[in-house]
A and B are shown apart, each in its own frame.
Chain A
């Protein structure tokens, strides 16, 4: 690391950290609400509040944790868990690759390993919009506030979710899916290949849910198989150019 970069990074650590926290407040609120719903679902699958909170602290990912709880509830194998997490979280590979382009080339491995902890759809979305190289302490602030929301919501949902009235509790079960719809639909509107990917995945998933024999396949494997099939098909039919892929 060059001397000038090192001194400039040290100079405004606190300021960058606070800026990260400020930009992360909307993520904090959103994560709290969504992880509250996740905590309720985890408790329904007989996880304790501690186990659910630990899962949130160590994973910090909505889709992967929801699928993980589904695997646990179905008593799936450890291998299935590994494969499910790998495929579902494969998108972080792309995001982390894109983020690596936003870091000063001489940023050491230490900060990179810390920033890697917080690669999520939302943190990625905020980080990638920043102009210039990412200041590691900005990322730490963003990750810090987001993680508090995610873990805090999970623990409260798992521990105290049951004190909510029944209909409210039932309604919260849809929150995570609502967030996924919000991620998927805007790009599907703009891009017919993404629209096809979304509709094909939903149609195949419905077939797997209801068709004889196929419906005995566990949800984790189902999601994995559909993801690989549809993504590979779309990649062959509509390859992406350098600008968006």
Chain B
């Protein structure tokens, strides 16, 4: 059995080191072009891989999750804020859920 606090402390240590090392050590710009490019793409690939297909299972119902996903994509495509997109996804799920109950009944 693993210790949850050890998990949390390991997470915190790794995350803090990543944040603190560049701020304290690197006082001039990175020069390795491959490394710079690799780091540039990391947020997009990480977030995309985390989001899909996991988002489709995030509500326990494939149809409502797909509706929320679609709502989020449309809002994000229109450059809405993080909060608006997150709220829009939740509303999309709720709307699909209501519609589904109405249709099934």
Contacts and interface: CB of A to CB of B under 8 A. Distances in A.
A121 B97 CA distance: 31
B10 interface: yes
Contacts of B39: 90-91, 93-94, 231, 245
Interface in A194-230: 194, 197-202, 204-206, 209, 219, 222-223, 226-227, 230
B42 A90 contact: yes
B33 to A, nearest CB: 5
A242 to B, nearest CB: 8
B45 A177 contact: no
Nearest to A177: B55
- Chain B interface residue count: which class? 35 or more
B103 interface: no
A227 B42 contact: yes
Interface in B34-91: 34, 36-55, 58-61, 64-65, 68-69, 72-73, 75-77, 79-91
- Interface residues of B, dominant DSSP: helix
Contacts of A34: 86
A181 B1 CA distance: 35
B104 interface: no
Contact of A61 (B10, B15, B58, B73): B15
A146 interface: no
Contacts of A89: 14-15, 18-19
Contact of B79 (A55, A174, A186, A200): A186
Contact of B81 (A91, A99, A182): A182
Contacts of B33: 239-240, 245
A235 B4 CA distance: 36
A78 B76 contact: no
Contacts of A183: 43, 47, 82
A229 B52 CA distance: 16
A58 to B, nearest CB: 4
Contacts of B69: 174, 177, 181
B23 A115 contact: yes
A117 interface: yes
B76 A185 contact: yes
Interface in A28-68: 29-30, 33-34, 47, 51, 54-55, 58-61, 63-68
A87 B24 CA distance: 20
Contacts of A231: 38-39, 41-42, 45
Contacts of A64: 11, 15
A188 B76 CA distance: 10
A174 B4 contact: no
A170 B93 contact: yes
Nearest to A237: B37
B55 A97 contact: no
A78 B6 contact: yes
A181 B58 contact: no
A168 interface: yes
7 contacts: A78-B2, A116-B19, A177-B50, A178-B87, A184-B47, A205-B52, A205-B53
Given A61-B15, A81-B7, A113-B24, 5 more contacts: A47-B4, A88-B50, A97-B29, A178-B68, A205-B53
